[in-house]
Chains A and B, each alone.
Chain A
């Protein structure tokens, strides 16, 4: 039996290695994503383009504008004279925030009745939210600084556990490893069966003495290997090149990663066996990986989802693995605090393997 599994494994390995282009893409996509996240994604939106209509042109108005610019959150991209011109600039997409300071700003300020108008582009969620809260907060604290009153009787001291400097990459890496493992494992095995069927090579396999179970295993092992390489490359690049510290137990982490990878590979096999064409399999994979990305808590916290979506999210292995990955990687907690998700993941894995082998059997007849 082992020799037969080994034979299939070898065949799959050779096939994978021969297709250089695919292999290169398979191995580089995780790194490309990592680089993208590392360089491009800032959840804290800075340098929001701002257009200004300063009708007051006074020291007071300039000081006010300077506090906004000094915060680094806003860049003045244009100076215009009227409110309509500000609106126009936002319509044209040149700026996301417009500030109109009325002519009587300086005199009104002395009476403590100065008004400014902030116009915010409401077509881009992240920018709008950032601009809204930041511009208001800066404006307010500037106003507070003008009155000589000990203004803050209550001071909220916020401490961020595990990631005190709020580094975006620290947030992302554990989730990224999890989501990449899911996407890749699904994609790796999804075409395994359906491809042999579509191309017609399945007959050649069926006349050999190989049993379905062995075929299944033989097709999974090389992919497990690739998934493992990807996990390792992100761990190494993330840890060494970007300096994201690994807090927990590495051995435990790798073992649980493999457990999770198996669930993805199993799911991929199930999809492959259930699909009639490669195109179908591909679309199902896309559906699964996208849904997982959005529901499992990688991009958006799972508890914030509407009830129905939260229920759906429980069928994704990723939902259980994200807390595991973040728990071990960032928080440094051990298995004693992770029993819940680990058991849930294991149960799901058994179910998936069961379903995959049933579908696999059916698809071979």
Chain B
């Protein structure tokens, strides 16, 4: 009995040792394995899933989140969000009531590069699919209005969707005023702020965090405007653009080193104030010329 036990322990030690050698040698030779999606047809996947449609929808949702996060954090310049929409489409086809996949998914899809694929059209398509599955969901209509407002700067369309969401059963009353404000003052920073404030009160943590981040972006845009005004005044006064923050400090326009609301330093080059690309708030949203 002792001999077999000793042999088992010996062999186990051998396995562990060889595994360590294997690891030291670098493991399996690397191959270029891009992210793959073997089945792209939602209809085919629905059939293949048998009675596991919901569970498979969860798996595709986790893949979508991982794909989005992985691409967003990737240093690879060729990294792309190509699989994001197919993954979300599969998720919502397998489980048409997966509400978070529509709401988060539209935020993922609409964000401009490098923070997202910059496809507001697909974000809207996903939300419209959600509305077809659940026509009573005013949240999807609100989110469509939001994509039109924020990413397409199409304020009449945004106002129409906010109004539609307000008219749906359970739609909150503040969406009516949002529709009116959007129509009258679309693109103005304070109306954008009102919109994100509503989202930052969402019960869904990720949307709440996204709302808070967007509010910080609006704060950063206000601060950049003030710093830019100081830089422009400097240029008018001295006839040359600001070279660095020391210029503004010496001229008495500034005290200390300006930082964005997340603590990242602002940058100034050739008299233009910008956000640091390493900031959590980068890139700032594009703003229509008339908006302030």
User: A and B, one complex?
Assistant: no
